[in-house]
Chain A
Amino acid sequence: MRKALLLLIGVIMACNLFSQDSPAKNYWTGGTACNIPKHRWELGLFTASRYGISDRLELSAHPVMFFLMPQVRLKVNWGEYSGFRLATEHGIFYPTVFMRLAATKGTGGLISPEFTIPQMFSIYNGFRSSYKPFRSAILTVHAGIAFAVKFGPLNPQSTIDLPVIYPRLAVFYNEPEFDAGIDFRGKFIPRFGWLFNVENFIVCGTPENYFLENKGLLAYTSKKETLRIEAGYKLCFGKYPAGPQWHLLPVLDVIFGIGR
């Protein structure tokens, strides 16, 4: 057992020492300030898909949820200054269709059907700045603000008190929501990467105002950079209406890369 453990540590160390690959092509860089190349698609099953409109502009949206809960973001790359790459993000999020479908009787009713969901959307603006401290890693900091526009009253008890979902809909029940965090990713060896990020949400106008998400992933990328499989965890803390809670969730995603 001890030998096996030592061997495992040795293998991991060797992988780290000899890893020389770099994410120079800006593939699989969602969450950083780097844009994917022009005309490349990265289609995720569970995470947002991305498309390179140009070398400066990148569009992202969720393919499955797009028709229920459209969320579109545009990332604008502003270039690199002293090794720091800068980008801004601008997005719009329209959850009304999903929430109306979720406000149903019987199985699948995430929201009580007694509540009326008005037309509403939120607008997000933020920035990202990435730095490559090493050839095979990218460190990113980001911050942003979202605010909601509603065309009618939204009952404060119609919340979906679940991790991941609650903080992303909280802006509709309160005042502007700030988010900030760090993202650190890289590769062990050319085809095996890792990701570690922390995201904080601060919601104005409510005592249930702080949420934290920490994601850790290990990723496998195919040789031709056309497939990436990610597996890991998401650790969520939040001050929900029921009180502070921790959740640990498994994360799995398959992303297909199309284009150069």
Chain B
Amino acid sequence: MLSCRRVIFTYFRLLLSAVSIFFILLAITSCEPLATDFEDTEGAICYSAETILPVPDTFTVVRVMTWNIRFGAGRLPWFGDACGNRVILTEDEVYGSLQSIVNKINLVKPDVLLLQEVDLNSKRSCYIDQLRWIMDHTYFNYAVYGSQWKAQFIPSDGLGRMDEGNVILSRWKISNAQRIQLALRSDQDNLTRYFYERCCMVTGQIEIPRMNNFYAVNIHASAFATDETKQKHIGQFKEELDRISNNGGLFVAGGDLNTLPPDSDTTDYCLQDMCSGESFHGSGDDPQHKEGSNYEPEKHWLDSLYARYACAVPADVYKNNQFRYFTHTTRGAHFWDRTLDYLFTNYQWVDHSVVTHQDATKESDHAPVSVLFILPK
């Protein structure tokens, strides 16, 4: 006859076995991947301010701005893009940069803001939710976020956890927000590509009163692809703008396209971007060009965008005074030396309203660009 103690023990063992089997099956079937893959199109992550500020309905123009804020790294010599040795920033450095960034935003007062390289929960930027911090320190009521680089842990250079993406901020509600996957690079080995960024566009409908067809599109195209990936990104960007346009929508679109405007005087920045110990353009140098610094093959990649849509800085205006519209440099102590950031619309900008904020030299390695969009009557 079984003792009471043994019966209890038997049932206890059964329970433990069941729990173990359950978790074993769960462990086998539900392991979260180290790096996140995305659908071709999926919903963007929506944010709203703690306190929604009223927006007057007297707007006749909307100020739009684009800015690659470099995850709050300011002009520090980060290892990935500035010949530096820094990987993990300190809290003081990140908050200092973010404070400068929101100071500029609060000064320019854009109504719709396109940001690139915003970190949410990344080790390199002390796990600060930069989007929430920016919303808490500005007047924007709504934002949408699409990750372009998301991994639980990147086992390279001490990067660790990463979540970086593109953001649209707006005074008005943003609906139908989507994250659109751009083509993946094909010039990397499988391991690198698994943990590498997956460039994307973020789109959303800005619900300005009496307008039911106004959209914002934010893109960050590949910076370092040496194959046709960047060209594909620009093509996908134009396809999305064409789709909105063909459906009767109006848009403001832009971001960091990582390529130069047509008719740029200088198209090869290999020597300017060269780090110590590197050599390019010499006989026997392999590769001949630095990754992401030779724009010569890309000279006509933006032609079709310029031909169909209105760039905030029209091609002829840029051509006559290129220096004034430069928005980027890779060198920490150097002034802007090339234009990579753009704003386009299929409607109308206010003439001569574009400003390349070249005075913002400390906040990021990109200068913000703002322009006034005319709201249709």
Mark A residues whose CB is within 8 Å of B. 12-13, 16-17, 103, 105-115, 133-134, 137, 157-158, 160-162, 184, 186, 188, 194, 196, 216-218, 231-235, 241-243, 247-251
Contacts and interface: CB of A to CB of B under 8 A. Distances in A.
A105 B85 CA distance: 10
A109 B157 contact: yes
A218 B20 contact: yes
Contacts of B87: 112-114
Given A194-B20, A196-B20, A248-B26, A157 B88 contact: yes
B133 interface: no
Given A12-B14, A112-B87, 19 more contacts: A12-B17, A13-B14, A105-B157, A110-B155, A112-B157, A112-B158, A114-B86, A157-B90, A158-B158, A161-B160, A188-B13, A196-B20, A218-B21, A233-B26, A234-B27, A235-B23, A248-B23, A248-B26, A248-B30
B38 interface: no
Contacts of B13: 16, 137, 186, 188, 194
Given A111-B158, A114-B88, A250-B28, A216 B20 contact: yes
Nearest to A251: B27
B157 A242 contact: no
Contacts of A243: 121, 127
Interface of B: 2, 5-6, 9-10, 13-14, 16-17, 19-21, 23-24, 26-28, 30-32, 79, 85-88, 90, 121, 123, 126-127, 153, 155-161, 191-192
Contacts of B23: 216, 232-233, 235, 248
B163 to A, nearest CB: 9
A196 B157 contact: no
Nearest to A195: B20
B123 A217 contact: no
Contacts of B127: 241-243
Given A107-B156, A242-B123, A137 B9 contact: yes
Contacts of A162: 153
Contacts of A232: 20, 23-24, 27
A249 B158 CA distance: 22
Contacts of B86: 114
12 contacts: A107-B191, A110-B158, A113-B85, A113-B157, A113-B158, A134-B6, A194-B17, A218-B24, A232-B20, A232-B23, A248-B31, A250-B24
B156 A106 contact: yes
B158 A216 contact: no
Nearest to A111: B158
Contacts of B157: 105-106, 109, 112-113
Contacts of A158: 88, 158
A249 B153 contact: no
B9 A103 contact: no
A134 B3 CA distance: 11
B19 A216 contact: yes
A230 to B, nearest CB: 11
A17 B14 CA distance: 11
A160 B158 CA distance: 8
Contacts of A186: 13
Given A16-B14, A106-B156, A107-B156, A242 B20 contact: no
Contact of A194 (B16, B90, B123): B16
A191 B102 CA distance: 65
B88 A112 contact: yes
Contacts of A242: 121, 123, 127, 161
Contacts of B30: 248
